[in-house]
Amino acid sequence: MNKQINFDMDGTLADFYGVEGWLSDLIEERTRPYVVAKPLLNFSSLARLLNRLQREGWELQVISWVSKSGSAEYHELIRIAKLNWLARHLPSVKWNAVIITAYGEAKEEHGAGILFDDNEDVREAWGEGAYDVDNILEVLKGLK
């Protein structure tokens, strides 16, 4: 297995869909949900695990989509908001790559190894090594 760990953001790391009014914000091209979303798990524990795994030779990567619709300018603002969110919530994690790509683009074209994603279709397309969001910390603890 490729020693790479990949994370989706919205619905996986960030409680994007828990932000009240997220859909209307997207329609109106507001980045608010990408800015105010809360972490979905204990990020102190996550950061410690990720830093240990990186020291052990694992690459860490984020592969996340922009909004399904919206202008190119809005998509650039989303990209910036997501980078800022990661820097604010996981400041000690030095990602090997953060890929913010078009909605629906095949994530398996950007990574290999392990993927954590809340989207079942994305996990199916990824194949072996794709996990839902229920046991992220437990799966990471089991990696050697």
pLDDT for position 103: 97
In order along its 144 residues, the chain shows pLDDT tens digits of 589 999 999 999 999 999 999 999 999 999 999 999 999 999 999 999 999 999 999 999 999 999 999 999 999 999 999 999 999 999 999 999 999 999 999 999 999 999 999 999 999 999 999 999 999 999 999 997
DSSP symbol at 69: S
Residues 6+ positions from 51 with CB-CB distance below 8 Å = 92, 93
Position 1 scores a pLDDT of 58
What is the structure's pLDDT at 59?
98
Q: In 3-state terms, what secondary structure has residue 9?
A: coil
Looking at domain 4-141, its CATH class is: alpha beta
- CA–CA distance, 56 with 53 (Å, rounded to integer): 5
Q: Say what the pTM is.
A: 0.95
